[in-house]
Every structure is written in C-alpha cells, then in structure tokens.
Amino acid sequence: MAFASASALTLDEAVALALLNPAKRIDAEAARDAANQRENSAIAVFLPTIGASQTRNDRDIKTQAASETTRYFASLNLFSGFGDFANWSAARNTKEARSHELKAARSDVILAAKSAYFNYFKALDTMKSAEENMRAIKKQSDDAEAFLGQGLIGAFERHQIALEALQSEQTAMKARSDLAVALKSLETTIGAAIAGDLTPPDEAASGDLNASEHNALFDVMLKNRSELKSLAAQIEAQKSQKTRAFAPALPSVDIQIAREKFEYDDGFQGQREQTTTMLTLTWQLPGLIKPYFDREAAFYEQKILESRFADLKKTLALQLTTSLERADLAFRAFVVAEESLKLAEENLRIVQNRFNERIASASDLLDADAALWRAREQRTLYYYDKLLAIAELSRVLEKE
C-alpha cells in the first residue's frame, strides 16, 4: 500500500495507517476472536439438545411382523456440578483478558508509529544541520584557499580547513543515509510507502514535570494499563477453573422429553404414540481423588498468575519512574541546548571575524565550527527526545 496525498502526511494519519497494518494486530485480534467463540461454546451447553431417530424392526415382539419407530427428543442439562457455569465464567474472563491484550497491542502500535515519525524528523533535522555545516566549512575552505594564494595563511592552516571540509561532507553523507533508513523504518511501521511529504510534529510542550505527582500518576497507570487488566481477568478465569476441576466429584442431572410414533405393517391396532419424560441423576463414586488433584493444580496455577500480577505492578512502577526521569531530563536539557546553540552561533561569528582579521587561527575556527555542530545536534536530539518522552509517558499511563 502506498500513501500519496495532495496534503502532507500528518502524525495522526501515520498512527491511523499503523493501526490498519494487519501485521501489527493480527495475533491479538485472532486471540480475541478465538476467545469470543470459546465463550459462545461455553454458553451453548446450556441450550437444549434436539434430535431424532428412526428404527425399523423386521419382527416386532407384539405382532410378529415388521414395525417402525420414529422418535423425536429434547434433552437439557440441569446440573453438572457447576462445571458448565465454571466453564462459562472462565471463557468470559478469558475473552475479557484477550480484549485487554488487544488494547495493549494497539497502544504499542501507536507508540511505535509516533517513535518512527519523530525519529524520521530527528534524522531530517540532523541531515539539514549536517549539510548546513558542510556548506559553511566548504566556504571556509574556499576562503582559506584564497588566503593561501594571498600569503595571509600558511599551507598547514589551509590543509586543516580542507580536511575538516572533507570530514563534514562525510558526516552529511551519513546523515542522508540515516534519513533514508528512518524513512524506511517509518514506512514499515505504518505499512505504507510514503510518496509525498510529511508534516512536522507539533511543538513539544514546555515546562517541568512535577515529580511529586508520581503517586497520583502511579494510580492512574494502575487504573488504565491493559496488561494489568488482562492478568486480573486471567486470575478470575483461573478461579473458575478451580471450580470446574472439582465438578466431576458432584452429581449431574439431565432431563429428556421424547415423543415416539409407532407404525405396524400388519395393521396392528396397539399403541401408536407415546411421550416419555426421563430425569437422570448421575453420581460416580468414588470420584474425589482426581478432582482433588486437579483442583490443587488449578490453585497453584492461580498463584503463578497472582505472582505475575505483583511483579508486573513493580515493573510498571519502574517504567513510570524511568519515563518521568527521561522526560524531565529531555525538558531540562532542551532548555540548556537552546542556550548553548545561541552561544555557539555567536562564538562562531566572533571567531570567523577574528580569523578574517588574522587574529584567530584555523584551529580556533575549526573548534568553533565543531562546537556549533555539536550544539545543533544536541538541540535536535533533545527536542525530539521531548516528543518521544511525551509519547512514552502516554503509553506508560495508557492515556492520550
């Protein structure tokens, strides 16, 4: 699939395309759909069973002639030691768990799409900065060549600047390659080839994240995270399995209503039709040994899920702390990076003038160029780190 539009691709459109990409959601959707059918199957046992049969006897014991019996019947399971109800409850909770897993998968796709989108623009801005730096140093190299011809600088200084120009060209080439990779990564994530332009993401929010709100955010995360909801539903399903495991030790009760019609070849005038109702109570004794061990096994399997639930809460708490720290670092470092960029630009302007006046050396000029390149790179890095931090925090909280 290719994306081509008169308007540039936006972040929201990229996320929407990623959510349509079947490779990202097919497993979770299939698991949810399978759980839906399992629940339907568990409900079906509560419905009556309807059947029919036809029997022909070549020699009936009453008439000593041929007879034919047609039978219609309906049977209903009245009680099976709570096993059917336990199956239904387990299937219902499993379906809920799979639904939460699908939601978690969807949140992962959204984060992946945003990350790929931001990384593309990080690579794009890095490439633009590298090419701008390359052009500036190329101009310095040309000026140095002229200065050398005028006897204003020596061959050593001229070679220094020429070497830096070649290295800046290599940096620009690598930045262009990184951009191509970032674009391919974005296309793979959204499942579509991008034929047009892309809209730059919105300016990242400014300000500090209040670490004192950690406890409140932790409560929001526990309330929202689909992974926790899925495990909680699985624990409830496992509780139902404990009940199901013991069901064979209890009696079962069935009722069947049948209507029979008799036909005789010799015109026998006996009974032609009858309706029968049969109530069956079944209790297999002794039947406690296997159900006991099955129930104990289900109990320990429940303990495993409960342990996973507790561990997951700890893991998510670490995720939240890490996400908040990364976001705080990105916001604060971006402020510093912007100030550093202003100073680096002013420093290069001063050193360039001093070099033209033969007060500063070529090494001073190259150092100023390098400082400006690093400042631009850091500004780009932390700007998109802010965007990524917001996206990651939204995923951790599972909240837009």
Per-residue DSSP letters for 36-83? HHHHHHHHHTTSPEEEEEEEEESS-TTTSS-EEEEEEEEEEEEEETTH
Best-predicted range by mean pLDDT (58-72, 209-223, 234-248, 302-316): 302-316
Domain ranges of the chain: 2-45+52-397
For 322-352, write each residue's pLDDT tens digit: 999 999 899 999 999 999 999 999 998 998 8
The whole-angstrom separation of Cα 50 and Cα 46 is: 13
Which ranges constitute the DSSP H helices of the chain?
A: 11-20, 22-44, 83-149, 155-190, 214-224, 226-246, 289-356, 362-397
C-alpha closest to that of 392 among 118, 22, 30: 118
> Which pLDDT score, from 0 to 100, does residue 287 have?
63
The whole-angstrom separation of Cα 124 and Cα 209 is: 28
For 341-391, write each residue's pLDDT tens digit: 999 999 989 988 887 787 887 778 888 888 888 898 899 899 999 999 999
> Which pLDDT score, from 0 to 100, does residue 348 have?
87
Q: Across-strand partners of 258?
A: 73, 276
> Which pLDDT score, from 0 to 100, does residue 339 have?
93
The whole-angstrom separation of Cα 120 and Cα 126 is: 10
The whole-angstrom separation of Cα 197 and Cα 6 is: 9
> Which pLDDT score, from 0 to 100, does residue 311 have?
96
Tell me the mean pLDDT in the region 216-240.
91
Q: Return the residue matching tokens 């701008």.
A: 132
Q: Return the residue matching tokens 């001229």.
A: 158
User: What's the angle, vertex CA 218, arms to CA 214 and CA 219, rounded to 5?
Assistant: 125
List the structure tokens of 20: 């349509």
List the structure tokens of 136: 């500036």
Q: Return the residue matching tokens 């002013």.
A: 346
Q: How confident is the model at residue 1 (pLDDT cuts 50, 70, 90)?
A: low
Answer yes or no: is pLDDT of 150 > 80.
no
Instruction: Output the CATH code of domain 2-45+52-397.
Output: 1.20.1600.10
CB 71, CB 52: distance < 8 Å: yes
Could you give the C-alpha distances from 387 to 101, 273, 312, 320, 392, in angstroms and in order? 26, 80, 26, 16, 9
Q: Across-strand partners of 329?
A: none
> Which pLDDT score, from 0 to 100, does residue 61 have?
58
Under the phi-then-psi rule, with left for phi > 0, alpha for psi from -120 to 50, and beta for the rest, what region is 197?
beta
> Which pLDDT score, from 0 to 100, does residue 120 have?
94
Q: What phi and psi values does residue 56 have, to the nearest 5 degrees?
A: -125, 130
Percent of the chain residues past pLDDT 90, beyond the cut: 27
> Which pLDDT score, from 0 to 100, does residue 310 have?
95
Answer yes or no: is pLDDT of 41 > 70.
yes
Tell me the mean pLDDT in the region 134-163.
78
Q: How confident is the model at residue 206 (pLDDT cuts 50, 70, 90)?
A: very low
Q: Across-strand partners of 278?
A: 256
pLDDT, averaged across the chain: 82
For 109-127, write each residue's pLDDT tens digit: 999 999 999 999 999 999 9
